[in-house]
Amino acid sequence: MSESGPSQALRTLQLSEARWQAILDTARDAVICIDERGRVTLFNRAAEAIFGYAAAEVVGQNVKMLMPPPYATEHDQYIEKYRATGAAKAIGRIREVHARRKDGEVFPIELSVSEARAGDEVIYSAIIRDMTERQAMQSELTAARQLAHQRERLADIGAITARIVHDLGNPLAGVSMQAQLLLRRTRRDPETPAAALQEPATRIVEEVGRLDHLIKDFLDFARQQRLDLKQIALPPFLQRLIDMWHPVAAERDIELALEVMHEPPPLDADEVKLRRVLDNLVKNAVEAIDRGPGRVDLHVLAPLPDRVRIVVRDNGPGVPQTLQMFRMFETTKRDGSGLGLSIAKQIIDAHGGNIGYEAVVPHGAAFYVDLPTRPAHV
Amino acid sequence: MSTSPRAPRTCRETSVVVVVDEDTFRIALAENLRDDGHPVHDCPDPLAVGRLDDVDVVVTDYEMESMNGLAFADMVHATQPAIRIVLVTAYWTAEVEDALAARPFVRLHRKPVDYDALHAVVDGGADDTAAEEPRSRR
């Protein structure tokens, strides 16, 4: 015969109580309940472990004993305000705040508070997760990332330094060896005819010129690109570029042509710097073909009303796929510094534009420069 | 059986091949060596050097377009182990140091090169002292 009436209700209540107690006892997180005056009514085992208090030390006390300033001093006012206005700061949200252990240690917690009502009685329940270990791990992770970043930067600096030393060291070695040749010859025979010294001296001057060019490239790369914007009419600007390169191209049997597909809008740009970028692209195209017959075409497009695209296309051998050509020191040229395109990228970036490359089928290269007609952020 | 010590060569008998693709440096070094009486063959490309049968010393660059100088040194040493090899370089990284440490048959001169120091090695009088030895990485 089954139980019924009050004894069944009592048993159901006992079972429910036991179930909740089991849950509270095994929970990893602290569960703390307070009444509407802030007095602790429940303090589970995890709360004992986290805060270092026995439940008997806390139950009946104001919960602010578990809080460091400023939470401790503000808590009573907060409850009062909530009761008066219903404006909740913590209820229904998960917040990262700090709590205080019995030994006074302040530690990070994740706090979620809910509210329950039984008749006139209000219960606030807080689930508290100790974030000490997680924050320590995050700090370690952040420190490890910073260290890795720092090491990468040092490695980059090391690689760049080695490259600069190499690029300057080679012409310097040539100058030095030529100078030693001159000195040894003149010491051996003070009457050495000047004509015999001309070739070493010429080579010294050439190598010093190479060094000078390199140093200027490094300086250009290191210097922030400040623009002197002026309105440029692109067709005559590009025609002057073509006219300047025409003799060089013709000497190599390379045809150089300009095609303006649409009348582009006037462009606000730094004329000298943009000319430097395009000089670099045309020079690269001519040198890639080396000896003709070959062809280098400049196209001007206006893909959008406020942007222009300049394309320098050649039918040379193209660029190796592995070459990251806009990075420092990336070059396929024997005597190239590998700075030309990285400086070009800096200049175009400073205009708020974009420089890129597309392979040409069956062979060749197309470098494009996209520019806003009116740079916004310069 | 005993072997008599090899008679020291005079500098005029020491033939040198200079394999460096930096023209200014190669030409001047070759001229300096010729002025000192050495038969010198200079070549910008290690792949175009040809046979090294009567060569005593090879001076080569580290970074060259067609072949790395260390690979060239390995090739020379494998076929003609008696040839002294001098590597000149302006490239100085830990990787180069490690590569040189593994090749005791290569003597190193850092660019810019002091001709007299290099000539002492070419001359055979400074086998172990004049050349810069590869440094161990710290």
pLDDT of residue B1: 36
Greater model confidence, A222 or B12: A222
A67-81, A113-127, A300-314: range with lowest mean pLDDT: A67-81
Distance from CA of B35 to the nearest CA of A (A): 8
Task: Kindly determine whether residue A175 and residue B112, on different chains, have CB atoms separated by under 8 Å.
Answer: yes
B21 CA to chain A: closest CA distance, Å? 9
Question: Which member of B22, B63, B91 has the closest CB to residue A174?
Answer: B22
pLDDT of the residue at B135: 38
Q: pLDDT tens digits, residue range A174-200?
A: 999 999 999 999 998 888 888 888 888
Q: What is the pLDDT of residue A332?
A: 67
ipTM value > 0.85: no
Mean pLDDT of chain A: 86
CB A241 within 8 A of CB A345: no
pLDDT attached to residue A193? 85
pLDDT of residue A269: 92
* Per-residue exposure over A339-369, b if at least 16 CB sit within 10 Å of its own CB, e if not: bbbbbbbbbbebbbbebebeeeeeebbbbbb
% of residues, chain B, pLDDT over 90: 57
Angle at which helices A194-222 and A340-350 cross, to 10°: 30
CA distances from A156 to A140, A152, A160, A313, B1 (A): 24, 6, 6, 32, 58
Residues A199, A201, A202, A207, Cα dihedral to 10°: 120
Mean pLDDT of chain B: 82
pLDDT at B61 over 80: yes
For the ranges A72-81, A191-200, B47-56, which has the lowest average pLDDT? A72-81
CA of residue B99 relative to chain centroid, distance: 16
CA angle A143, A148, A151 (to 5 degrees): 125
Q: Give percent above pLDDT 70 in chain A.
A: 94
Does the pLDDT value for residue A40 go beyond 50?
A: yes
* pLDDT attached to residue A335: 64
What mean pLDDT comes out for the span B24-50?
93
User: What pLDDT score was predicted for residue A212?
Assistant: 86
Q: A203 CA to chain B: closest CA distance, Å?
A: 6
What CA–CA distance (Å, rounded) separates A224 from A219? 10
The pLDDT of residue A3: 56
pLDDT of residue A322: 74
Question: Encoding tokens for residue A39?
Answer: 């007095």
Query: Could you tell me whether strands A267-270 and A229-232 are parallel, antiparallel, or unpaired per DSSP bridges?
Result: antiparallel
Task: Look up residue A334 and give its two tokens.
Answer: 């024997």
pLDDT tens, A4-23?
677 888 888 888 888 988 88
Residues in chain A with CB shorter than 8 Å from the CB of B31 are 181, 200
Q: Report the 10 Å Cβ neighbour count for B56.
A: 20
Rounded average pLDDT over B95-107: 89
Q: Which residue has the tokens 């009592």?
A: A10
Mean per-residue pLDDT, B107-127: 85
pLDDT for A155 = 76
CB contact under 8 A, A173 and B92: no
For residue B109, the chain A residue with the least C-alpha distance is: A173
Letter string b/e over residues B99-117, b meaning 16 or more CB atoms within 10 A of that residue's CB = bbeebeebbbbbbbbebee
Q: Which residues does A327 contact at the CB level (< 8 Å), separation at least 6? A: A338, A342
Q: Quick one: pLDDT band at residue A306, thresholds 50, 70, 90?
A: confident
- The DSSP call for residue B113 is P
Average pLDDT in the A236-243 region? 92
Burial class (CB in 10 A: 0-12, 13-18, 19+), B55: buried
pLDDT for residue B138 is more than 50: no
CB A261 within 8 A of CB A301: yes
Residue A100 pLDDT: 95
A332 touches chain B (CB under 8 A): no
Lowest mean pLDDT among A178-187, A278-287, A312-321: A312-321
Q: Which chain B residue has the Cα nearest residue A168? A: B90
When pLDDT is cut at 50, 70 and 90, the band that residue A317 belongs to is: confident
Question: Which range, of A146-155, A327-336, B60-69, averages the lowest pLDDT?
Answer: A327-336
**Per-residue pLDDT for A339 more than 60?**
yes
pLDDT band at B116 (very low <50, low <70, confident <90, very high): very high
Query: Is B115 close to A203, i.e. CB distance below 8 A?
Result: no
Which residues neighbour A113 within 8 Å (Cβ) at sequence distance 6 or greater? Answer: A90, A91, A92, A93, A124, A125, A126
CB atoms within 10 A of CB A208: 14
Supply the pLDDT for residue A60. 95
